[in-house]
Amino acid sequence: MAASKPIEPGAGSGLPRWQLALLVGTPIVLGVGAAYLWSRSRGRSTSRGKEQPSERNEERKTPEGSEQDNMSPLDKAQAAKNRGNKYFKAGKYEQAIQCYTEAITVCPKEQKSDLSTFYQNRAAAYEQQAKWTEVVEDCSQAVEMNPRYIKALFRRARALERLDNKKECLEDVTAVCILEAFQNQQSMLLADKVLKQLGKEKAKEKYKNREPLMPSPQFIKSYFSSFTDDIISQPLQKGEKKDEDKDKEGEAAEVTESSGYLKAKQYMEEENYDKIISECTKEIESKGRHTAEALLLRATFYLLIGNATAAQPDLDRVINMQDANVKLRANALIKRGSMYMQQQQPQLSTQDFNMAAEIDPKNADVYHHRGQLKILLDQVEEAVADFDECILLRPDSALAQAQKCFALYRQAYTGNSPSQVQTAMDGFEDVIRRFPKCAEGYALYAQALTDQQQFGKADEMYDKCIELEPDNATTYVHKGLLQLQWKQDLDMGLDLISKAIEIDNKCDFAYETMGTIEVQRGNLDKAIDMFNKAINLAKSEMEMAHLYSLCDAAYAQTEVARKYGLKPPTL
Ligand SMILES: *[C@@H]1O[C@H](CO)[C@@H](O)[C@H](O)[C@H]1NC(C)=O
Ligand SMILES: *[C@@H]1O[C@H](CO)[C@@H](O)[C@H](O)[C@H]1NC(C)=O
């Protein structure tokens, strides 16, 4: 499916990271992991020496030889630990472990801080031997005595990862991130990795078993409006309807039955979307004369309800029908290509788009959609070339012009070229002047303006969008996000997002954004609730995986808050 949410400029736009994480709506573009949601907090970076096993800062001078007899138990423990550290540095882990064990045994139980160090050091030695269970046990001892022991928590997190205990690993690494004020790359990366893995696993399970879900009529209409050079998106021609009537009058029931496709088209005009798949099936099973169209329409609705497994064989069939109308085959290729992109198979995707351009070189839709794919693949120059081709074929295509401006903006921005940024902005002005009825033009311009910190003007642009398309929930979410960024006005932001949900209670982007804001405000339970709503509405497995990551991140935070009384900074 074509990207339903506008594509955002990449990272590095000078926004605090959590805001970026908020803004980056599409999972494909989400380079920044969910863990970074909270990374806006400032603070000194905690440096953690790499492969530095043991606490040496507390190393004490310990007497040698016979004097040992006069030593206190704590001194003896320290001496044992210091010997352990030497073995450790020499790579003699077995001996190191023996020394640390001795330290633990002789150390008085009330010396918690020292004891926790000895356990942590022994865990480091076990880690070298890849004895993960022992690592976890020793780190747990250390953390029990010293709950904010970053080194022990992080070591345990790594061992838990090795043991494939992702849930507990995530809790530990979350605690570490909070204790380090999200300033340490290593722990952030581990959090990100585990969140992504967990999200992927859960989405895979859930997506298989979910109920099919028809998107909102607004979404469906907007989806079809992104195709203009195909047959199934077009309204029925008068002639076609007449044709059907004629069939009904003149011939037997058999012929009426074969008009399943035409019925489906009528349901489409009536926005009675739930009946379309079954009508198409009738056409296909009766081998009606619109079989190719019916296959394509059915596949399109399978894609819309999120069942790619069912869509693929239909698309394959249309694509392989050598004598079918080339527009149908090209459209099927575009849709299969988009589907592959959603399944993170960019090569197959590119292949399909290229084949579409080969069989139907004058089809503007091909270039328009391939341009979007190229943007996702960060191939901006090729994207611009495709948009140009689309504009050449269809000079009135406002959408392609707006998207071209956006691609140019992105390119100028990442290329750090102020003059080209200005050119791109002028281009947007030109587009909205020439196509004042194209909402997407205002929306994309608003995003570039936001990125350029021209908040007031961006807000005006969103207002124009709302005027043109009052039913488009997405715009309200964007406008809400703008209020947060511009005025730090949480209430107004949340009001606008609530409005989005009012307009379209299937707007997953609104629930996701609201969840992210609730995380910021420290309302974790509410956030989890919102993320779960978004999960149930996710339009692809990948999107669902991203949402699960957000949800798990929030959940891990509640656990950490409960266990250690740790909370990240809130708004
Ligand atoms: C809503 O507007 C956005 C631009 O803000 C556009 O990309 C999207 O396709 C529209 N969605 C619907 C459902 O109309
Ligand atoms: C998707 O379609 C296939 C084949 O029609 C079906 O077996 C499967 O249950 C459907 N999955 C969902 C989630 O609806």
Statement: residue 288 has pLDDT above 70:
yes
Q: Is the C-beta atom of 363 inside 6 A of ligand 1?
A: no
List all residues 6 or more positions away from 338 whose beta carbon is below 8 Å from its beta carbon. Answer: 1, 2, 349, 369, 373
Determine the distance separating the centroid of ligand 2 and the alpha carbon of 212, expressed in angstroms: 8
Q: Residue 19 has what pLDDT? A: 29
Mutation choice for ligand 2 from 210, 295, 309, 537, CB with most ligand atoms inside 8 A: 309
Mutation choice for ligand 1 from 472, 505, 539, CB with most ligand atoms inside 8 A: 472
Which burial class, exposed, middle or buried, applies to 418 when counting CB atoms under 10 A from its CB (0-12, 13-18, 19+)? exposed
Q: Is the C-beta atom of 209 inside 6 A of ligand 2?
A: no
Q: Residue 51 has what pLDDT? A: 46
Q: Which ligand is nearest to the CA of 472?
A: 1
Mutation choice for ligand 2 from 307, 316, 536, 537, CB with most ligand atoms inside 8 A: 307
Torsion from C-alpha of 341, 346, 352, 357, nearest 10 degrees:
100
Q: Residue 259 has what pLDDT? A: 80
Most confident range, picked from 225-229, 248-252, 354-358: 354-358
Determine the distance separating the centroid of ligand 1 and the alpha carbon of 477, expressed in angstroms: 11
Closest CA to 8 of 522, 487, 477: 477
Question: Which protein residue has the closest C-alpha to ligand 2 atom 5?
Answer: 310
Question: Which protein residue has the closest C-alpha to ligand 1 atom 13?
Answer: 219
Determine the distance separating the centroid of ligand 1 and the alpha carbon of 439, expressed in angstroms: 8
Distance of alpha carbon 210 from alpha carbon 304, whole angstroms: 14
Q: Are 303 and 1 in contact (CB under 8 A)?
A: yes
Average pLDDT over residues 67-81: 85
474 Cα nearest atom in ligand 1? 1
Average pLDDT over residues 453-481: 95
> Is 522 or 262 the better-scoring residue by pLDDT?
262
Average pLDDT over residues 260-264: 91
Q: Residue 6 has what pLDDT? A: 34
The radius of gyration computed from the CA coordinates of the chain, to the nearest angstrom, equals 30
367 sits in which H/E element = helix 364-376
Closest CA to 25 of 418, 455, 473, 347: 473
Determine the distance separating the centroid of ligand 2 and the alpha carbon of 307, expressed in angstroms: 6
Q: Are 249 and 238 in contact (CB under 8 A)?
A: no
Distance of alpha carbon 100 from alpha carbon 92, whole angstroms: 12
* Token pair of 568 as six digits: 């990240």
Question: Which protein residue has the closest C-alpha to ligand 2 atom 7?
Answer: 310
212 Cα nearest atom in ligand 2? 14
Distance of alpha carbon 9 from alpha carbon 446, whole angstroms: 12
Which burial class, exposed, middle or buried, applies to 431 when counting CB atoms under 10 A from its CB (0-12, 13-18, 19+)? buried
**Reported confidence tier of residue 66, pLDDT bands at 50, 70, 90:** low
440 Cα nearest atom in ligand 1? 4
Determine the distance separating the centroid of ligand 2 and the alpha carbon of 211, expressed in angstroms: 9
> Is 252 or 144 the better-scoring residue by pLDDT?
144
Q: Residue 342 has what pLDDT? A: 86
Statement: residue 469 has pLDDT above 50:
yes
Q: Is the C-beta atom of 309 inside 6 A of ligand 2?
A: yes
Q: Within 24-180, where are the H helices?
A: 73-89, 93-106, 112-128, 132-145, 150-162, 166-179
209 Cα nearest atom in ligand 2? 13
Average pLDDT over residues 141-170: 95
Determine the distance separating the centroid of ligand 1 and the alpha carbon of 450, expressed in angstroms: 17
Q: Is the C-beta atom of 6 inside 6 A of ligand 1?
A: yes
Average pLDDT over residues 115-127: 97
Closest CA to 539 of 22, 7, 3: 3
Average pLDDT over residues 204-208: 90
Distance of alpha carbon 258 from alpha carbon 175, whole angstroms: 63
Statement: residue 570 has pLDDT above 70:
no
Q: Residue 415 has what pLDDT? A: 83
Q: Is the C-beta atom of 350 inside 6 A of ligand 1?
A: no
**Reported confidence tier of residue 280, pLDDT bands at 50, 70, 90:** very high
Domain 65-208 CATH class label = mainly alpha
Q: Residue 569 has what pLDDT? A: 65
Q: Residue 488 has what pLDDT? A: 85
Distance of alpha carbon 123 from alpha carbon 132, whole angstroms: 9
Q: Are 54 and 84 in contact (CB under 8 A)?
A: yes
Across the chain, mean pLDDT equals 84
Q: Is the C-beta atom of 300 inside 6 A of ligand 1?
A: no
Statement: residue 103 has pLDDT above 80:
yes
Statement: residue 325 has pLDDT above 90:
yes
**Reported confidence tier of residue 417, pLDDT bands at 50, 70, 90:** confident
Average pLDDT over residues 430-442: 94
The count of C-alpha atoms lying within 13 angstroms of the C-alpha of 170, restricted to the half-sphere facing its C-beta, is 25
Q: Is the C-beta atom of 213 inside 6 A of ligand 2?
A: no
> Is 8 or 275 the better-scoring residue by pLDDT?
275
Question: Which protein residue has the closest C-alpha to ligand 1 atom 1?
Answer: 472
List all residues 6 or more positions away from 531 whose beta carbon is below 8 Å from its beta carbon. Answer: 511, 512, 515, 547, 548, 550, 551, 554
Determine the distance separating the centroid of ligand 1 and the alpha carbon of 6, expressed in angstroms: 8
Q: Residue 562 has what pLDDT? A: 83
Q: Is the C-beta atom of 2 inside 6 A of ligand 2?
A: no
Determine the distance separating the centroid of ligand 2 and the alpha carbon of 354, expressed in angstroms: 29
Q: Is the C-beta atom of 222 inside 6 A of ligand 1?
A: yes
User: Which residue bears the tokens 């496709």?
Assistant: 261
Average pLDDT over residues 119-145: 97
Determine the distance separating the centroid of ligand 1 and the alpha carbon of 304, expressed in angstroms: 15
The count of C-alpha atoms lying within 13 angstroms of the C-alpha of 275, restricted to the half-sphere facing its C-beta, is 14
Three-state DSSP string of 1-31: CCCCCCCCCCCCCCCCHHHHHHHCCCHHHCC
Q: Residue 460 has what pLDDT? A: 97
